[in-house]
Amino acid sequence: MKLEVVILAAGQGTRMKSAMPKVLHPLGGKPLLAHVIETARMLDPVAVHVVIGHGSEQVQEQLAHYEGVNWVLQEEQLGTGHAVAQVLPSLDPQSRALVLYGDVPLTSTATLLQLLGPDHDQTLALLTTVLADPAGYGRIERDESGQVRKIVEEKDANEAQRCIQEINTGILAAPADKLAEWLPKLSSSNAQGEYYLTDTIAMAVEDGTGVEALPAANMEEVQGINSRAQLAQLERWYQLQLAQQLMAGGATLADPARIDVRGHFKCGQDVFLDINLLVEGEVSIGDNVTIGANVVLRNSSIADGANIQANSIIDDSVVGENCEVGPFARLRPGTHLEARAKIGNFVEIKKAHIGQGSKVNHLSYVGDAELGRDVNVGAGTITCNYDGANKHLTRIGDNVFVGSNTALVAPISISEGATIGAGSTLSNDAEAKALTVERGRTRVIRDWQRPTKK
Ligand code: UD1
Ligand code: CA
């Protein structure tokens, strides 16, 4: 049977106390609603409809890269039933509709597939769970034989109904033609004056469609976000799942509670990740990589055997096999380190290619540069790449030795095997295999009398 997914995301999210629509708040570095859209797509539906209202322009704009989403505007938020009704004109009556929530980000596809099994093509399938504290949720009322009878919202429930611990997660699947029958019949005469989607359950029982309640695998996968505290809680759970996946894949984590992945992290085997690693965007690391404490990796790849020491930041860079980076190194976008290169403490590299085995070990800035193999860049070397208007390139050949505290005023080229004397400020190219030094001669004045106090 054809599947169409309807995602409800029009609510305001008052309790977030935010100018940003709730469904745009990030979890694992990605908007809540983006998680739901991606989950929906994994089910291979013929259409994904997203009902938006509060902050609709912002939501649509930020998620515009999800092509093929049918954005449906709900001008006034008159309830979950009213929200689904807005999608009716675009729903094919022949399909099965799955209703998800833009603020329930972590439902697994395995759980959703239960609701979509061929056995209940024609029924209303409902995802429920049992909570020790069911406060705030709609309760599942069953008859003597255990069949679901209806859902009672907390605000409409009597004393006895409030004691029911089985709750409605909100997620359900039903034949689209049935929804088209039921939704126009909803009434808003209830405690909240809203058109409740949950009232369709009693309708399904009445017209013999049949209702099946299926259990969620765990609480977190049906957890909705209403406050920042809930968001933080779910974020911790999500991160712990990712940490467990990394460990299962062969990585040792010093502390699985102290790693955050905001994006995709591909990790090899026999990797050691020390505490407080932050991963953002697309990051991959090879086998036998060691990452020290407090490291940030963003949109980068790190090859086998590399050692990234504590407090380093690697952004949009490529680190080759067996490289050594840090501690306290910063690789800015466009850095490419070939195998066995070494970048030491307080070194900043930007848009530079560092050849095999080359070293920039201390306190240097190398930007807009191409370094060959086995180059040694002394402490305090600066590529003066910017003239105030334009950026210029520094070229350094194989086996060059740059003495400490050297300024290389780009554009400049240092040929193979050259040696640059410490303290030089070079603005002309340096010859291959020669020593180039630009430095005042030492003057000695003997028996120098220091001034004395008057
Ligand atoms: C709903 C269920 C309740 C369930 C709970 C699970 C109803 C009537 N109640 O209650 O049984 O236990 O979810 O969290 O369905 N939305 C719209 N347009 C609207 C109203 C809501 O798009 O007019 C969206 C909201 O943005 C939100 C979702 O629907 O993502 C749920 O709405 P909310 O008001 O939070 O429903 P609850 O009262 O929590
Ligand atoms: Ca809610």
What pLDDT score does 103 carry?
97
As a whole number, the mean pLDDT across the chain is 97
Q: Which of 35, 72, 73, 80 to mutate to test the pocket of ligand 1 (most atoms within 8 A of CB)?
A: 80
Average pLDDT over residues 292-307: 98
The structure tokens listed for 410 are 């780009």
Pocket of ligand 1 (CB under 6 A): 8-11, 51, 74, 77-80, 82-83, 101-103, 137-138, 151, 153, 167-170, 196-198, 224
At 120, the pLDDT band (50, 70, 90 cuts) reads confident
For the chain, the straight-line distance linking the first and the last C-alpha, in angstroms and rounded, comes to 101
Write out the DSSP string of 222-271: G----SHHHHHHHHHHHHHHHHHHHHHTTEEES-TTSEEEEEEEEE-SSE
CB 338 within 8 A of CB 352: no
Give the SS3 label for residue 177: helix
Phi then psi dihedrals of residue 58, to 5 deg: -65, -45
pLDDT (tens digit per residue) in 39-93:
999 999 999 999 999 999 999 999 999 999 999 999 999 999 999 999 999 999 9
Contacts of 22 (CB under 8 A, 6+ apart): 11, 12, 13, 16, 32, 54, 102, 103, 225
What pLDDT score does 391 carry?
97
What pLDDT score does 342 carry?
98
The owner of tokens 């679901």 is 148
Asked about 362 being catalytic, the answer comes back as yes
Average pLDDT over residues 232-241: 98
9 CA to centre of ligand 1 in angstroms? 9
What pLDDT score does 12 carry?
87
